[in-house]
Amino acid sequence: MHRKAATVVPQFSILIPAYNVERYISRCLESVIAQTFVDDGSTDRTAEIAQDLQVKDARIHLIRLKANSGRHIARKTAVDASIGEYTLFLDADDSLEPHLLELLDHTSKAHAADMIRYGLSVIPETDQDKKWAYDYESMFNGTDGELSGNEIIRASFSYDLKQWVSWNIHTTMYRSDIVKASFKEMSAERLNKLEDAYEYLVLCAHAQTLYPVTEVRGLRYHVGRGISGRSQYSIDKFIYDQRSVYDVILAVRRYSGTRENPTIKQAAAWMETRAFSIIQDDFQERLEPERCEDAFQSVAQIWGAKRACQMLCNCLESRIWWFCNMNSYPAENDRVSYWKTALAHIMRSDSFKDVFASNADLEKQVEHIYEAIDTIDQRIAQKKQEDSAREKAVRLAYKQLVIEEYRKTTLSYRVTNAIFPDGTRRRKAFDRLANKHAGK
């Protein structure tokens, strides 16, 4: 009679959704100790690389989805299969510092919290990302100290506390029973952008205690790989992403609608406002400006005409008044010129003119915008007038120079210069008589 071997429960499960990341997956997996790994229907060598590592280390568990289903479904699948006492989430293009799990194990024994939040180091991949990497790192490593109950939700889904805490799911270790309960309640549909905010909200709603050790920079977060970074957007990318964000907001609405806790409902409303501000930021800073009207129409279709009009007016107002306050004016190809044209077209459109007419705040904002536009137009007209006068003066001076040079080549000039050498008293007297005769 053979005794059945007892199942060894690992201390940690590290869940990594991965799709076509063959360039990064080896480094990611090599930085991880015990883990559950999910391949999200990759079409490159991601799964093969993971399988090779699985042969070397039986703690790696590869789950292959038949088709790419997005990170949310990949995480949900991995959560269901995981067996560790604690769960961490990691993206396949990032990596963990060597001693993170050892430090988290020590912390969990000293502080039996539902969530233990650690810090990260931002690794920018492009020059554009370097410009804001420091601010990004500071934001992610912010903390309000130990939190409990609804404070955990409010820290990331309101501005009520002193320090806003990012909703990043990747810098927290969770008790696995909380993770399983949370993901069981989450949507089973594909979610692609801001899905981690939705997941973090549900996780926070299930937790009672959070302990921070953000001085431990346990995650190496690569900005500029995958979907992160500040690269420019094509119109197709913008339309896809803003629709994806809306799908997440719908999932958040459904979840909050099943909760009695008013803090969760307030958090859901706050998240919706914040999500739309992210769309506005992408429209303002990353979208190719010549496609702004197409982007506007897409936002109006998904989020409603009023929000789309507010987005365009907010972007135009802030930028054009910046030029006013700086006593400057935009270049001809500046985003302002595209937004001005878009606003003029939209306000004449039957589909949108009623939006402005029925909203006093929006009408007032438009008046403020056109006040700034008038100031800018006057400034540009004055600049053109000054440039024209300057060009005229330059042309006149050049003409006089040509005439003077021509005079110097004539016989009369050469004879005069020989009889009355330049700089002598005789020459000065001659010039006075010549000028008097000419009426100068």
Pairing of strands 172-175, 86-89: antiparallel
Locate all alpha helices (DSSP H) within 304-419, ordered by sequence.
Answer: 305-325, 335-348, 353-357, 360-407, 411-419
Q: Rounded distance, CA 313 to CA 287, Å? A: 16
Kind of pairing, strands 147-148 and 209-223?
antiparallel
CB 315 within 8 A of CB 283: yes
Angstrom distance (rounded) from CA 226 to CA 359: 40
pTM assigned to the model: 0.79
Which range, of 184-198, 207-221, 404-418, averages the lowest pLDDT? 404-418
Average pLDDT (19-41) is: 60
Whole-number Cα distances in Å, 284 to 278, 336, 392: 10, 10, 39
Q: Among 133-147, 175-189, 197-211, which is the least confidently predicted range?
A: 133-147
Residue pLDDT, tens place only, 268-296: 999 999 999 999 999 999 999 999 999 99
With a cut of 70, say whether residue 81 has pLDDT above it.
yes
Is residue 63 a contact partner of residue 130, using CB atoms and an 8 Å limit? no
Per-residue pLDDT, 296: 97
Closest among 414, 311, 413, 287 to 365, alpha carbons compared? 311
Question: For residues 348-367, b (16+ Cβ closer than 10 Å) or e, as one string?
Answer: eeeebeebbeeeeebeebbe
Task: State residue 17's pLDDT score.
Answer: 80
Q: Would you say residue 35 has pLDDT above 50? A: no
And the tokens for 65?
């989805």
Residue pair 38/59 in contact by the 8 Å Cβ criterion: no
**Amino acid residing at 59:** R
